[in-house]
Amino acid sequence: MILISIFLSFLLSNIFGYGGGPASIPLMYEEIVNRYNWLSNAEFSNMLALGNALPGPIATKIAAYVGFGIGGWWGFIVALAATVIPSAAALIFLANIMSKHRDSKIVKGMALLVQPVIAALMIILTFEMLQDSYISLGWIQTAAIAVISFALLQKFKVHPAIVIILAFAYGGIVVPHLN
Amino acid sequence: MVYKEIIIAMCRSGILGFGGGPSVIPLIRYEAVTKFKWLDNDEFGEILAIANTLPGPIATKMAAYLGYRQKGILGAIVSVLAHILPTCLAMVVLISFINVVSHSAVITSMVSAVIPVIAVMLGLMAYEFAEKAIKGLGIYVGVALTLICLFLLQYISIHPAIVVLIFLTYGAFHFNLKDRIFHKKERGM
């Protein structure tokens, strides 16, 4: 019974969460805190803080945490399946249709016209990230890290993983002593 | 070994992608396009666009599709698990330490130092998509459409999925319209 509630709550909050994982957080909050009382408000914010401290998609981290907490390992599996499978299956289905007709004028036009939208979405995300960084690190450090990582990525073609690990190390070793 | 590639690519992007699903996209793209060359940049952009019209977490959708493309359903499962399991398990293990971890100044600083790097990667991707828009549509139309999208998304706050759908719908007629206008001009001359 509990597994069905877990399945339904994560299925609904992700199906109606348009705009990627972060968009479904308020919907998950509604299900987890208000509807089922699986977590209190404070517990939910603590979990979100932990989720934000860890890498990877946020929706799946919340699903894993709540699913395991409520239903053990089966809860973990059910919550993750409800979060991931419906949208993944839909994308595979649509992308297959698209790639079968790649040479048609219709698909070519769609592929072209979508470029400015993706560019705009990426520009907005870039600014949001810079704003977050400004709030937590201030302009000087944000700019310094951005310029150095730009040079490493673009000019020296360093693997992004290495750049991220360097920034991570800098954040752990240097930043706490600056404030 | 394709499975080994899938696991390496998805584990690496899952473990290093700080700042939620959308910020993982440049990392996934690096692995799929630059490193393992599963598909070209244009195609990656198209898939990303379709993914944006669908609900649900974006990173797992991309992981599933890329895995599926390489090795079918099993590839999709392996890909998604490699991408999310390490951090999902970390979530469960860290439950008992939740107060220590989420309030540690060192961990918070580490995560915040990564955010500018993610911003740079997203910015570079934005630049490339804008460049492609300009190449395909000409400088005036390309820049104008990008600005219109920014306006719709940011100032009127129209939902991204709706904006993508509007542009996809027009796109379906774009080349036919262009041909018709071009022919009219030729006849007129």
| DSSP string for residues in B97-122 | GHHHHHT-HHHHHHHHHHHHHHHHHH
* Residue A19 binned pLDDT confidence (cut-offs 50, 70, 90): low
B71-to-A54, B1, B25, B48, B76 alpha-carbon distances in Å:
29, 11, 21, 19, 7
* pLDDT at B189 > cutoff 60: no
| B67: confidence class by pLDDT, cuts 50, 70, 90 | very high
For the segment B123-139, the average pLDDT, to the nearest whole number, is: 90
- Residues A78, A19 share a domain: yes
Give the model's pLDDT for residue B20. 72
Helix axes A41-53 and B105-137, enclosed angle (nearest 10): 70
Burial class (CB in 10 A: 0-12, 13-18, 19+), A52: middle
- What's the pLDDT band for B54 if we cut at 50, 70, 90? confident
Residue B19 has pLDDT above 90, yes or no: no
Determine the average pLDDT of the residues in A16-23: 68
Residues A116, A55: one domain? no
The answer to whether residue A1 scores a pLDDT higher than 80 is yes
Residue B129 to residue A116, Cβ atoms within 8 A: yes
User: Which helix (H) or strand (E) covers residue B123, if one does?
Assistant: helix B105-137
Q: Tens of pLDDT along B140-178?
A: 999 999 999 999 988 888 877 788 889 989 998 999 888
Q: Do A125 and B164 touch (CB under 8 A)?
A: no
Q: Which amino acid is at A30?
A: E
Rounded CA gap, B128 and A110, in Å? 18
pLDDT of residue B78: 97
Judged by CB atoms closer than 8 Å, whether chains meet at A116 and B167 is answered as yes
Domain boundary among A100, A124, A155: A100
**In this predicted structure, what is the pLDDT of residue B187?**
63
For B33-46, write each residue's pLDDT tens digit.
Answer: 999 999 998 889 88
**Residue from B13, B33, B65, B118 to probe the interface with A (highest A Cβ count within 10 Å):** B118
Which of A100, A129, A158 is at the close of a domain? A100
List CB contacts (< 8 A) between B164 and chain A: 114, 117
Cβ contact, residue pair A160, B27, below 8 Å = yes
Asked whether residue A155 falls in the same domain as residue A83, the answer is no
Number of domains chain A contains: 2
pLDDT band at B188 (very low <50, low <70, confident <90, very high): low
What H or E segment, with its residue span, contains residue B188?
helix B160-188
> A7 with A81, same domain?
yes
- Least confident interval from A16-20, A142-146, A164-168, B104-108: A16-20
Domain boundary among A100, A116, A150: A100
Chain mean pLDDT for chain A: 89
Question: In this model, does residue A63 exceed pLDDT 90?
Answer: yes
pLDDT at A64 over 70: yes
Q: Does B41 touch chain A (CB under 8 A)?
A: no
Contact A107, B176 (CB under 8 A): no
A152 CA to centre of own chain = 25
Mean pLDDT of chain B: 88
End-to-end CA distance of chain B: 59
CB atoms within 10 A of CB B142: 21
Interchain pair B129, A119: CB under 8 A: yes
Domain ranges of chain B: 1-98
**B114/A84 touch (CB, cutoff 8 Å), yes or no:** no
Tokens of B8: 């390496």
Phi, psi (deg, nearest 5) at residue A104:
-75, 150
Rounded to whole angstroms, how far apart are CA atoms B152 and A110?
A: 19
- pLDDT band of residue B57 (cuts 50, 70, 90) is confident
Give B-chain residues touching A61 at CB under 8 angstroms. 84, 87-88, 91
Least confident of A75-79, B54-58, B87-91: B54-58
Under DSSP, the state recorded for B96 is G
User: Could you tell me if A36 and A91 lie in one domain?
Assistant: yes
Same domain, A12 and A51: yes
| pLDDT score for A21 | 66
Same domain (yes/no): A90, A137: no
Higher pLDDT, A175 or A123: A123
Chain B positions touching A82 (Cβ under 8 A) are: none
pLDDT at A168: 87
Residue A60 sits in which domain range? 2-100
Give the gap in angstroms from C-alpha A136 to the nearest C-alpha of chain B: 7
A132 and A164 part of one domain: yes
Residues A126 and A75 in one domain: no
A18: confidence class by pLDDT, cuts 50, 70, 90: low
Residues A113-117, mean pLDDT to the nearest whole number:
88
For residues B124 and A129, give the distance between their C-alpha atoms in angstroms, rounded to a whole number: 13
The verdict on A8 and A68 lying in the same domain is yes
Mean pLDDT of A34-54: 87
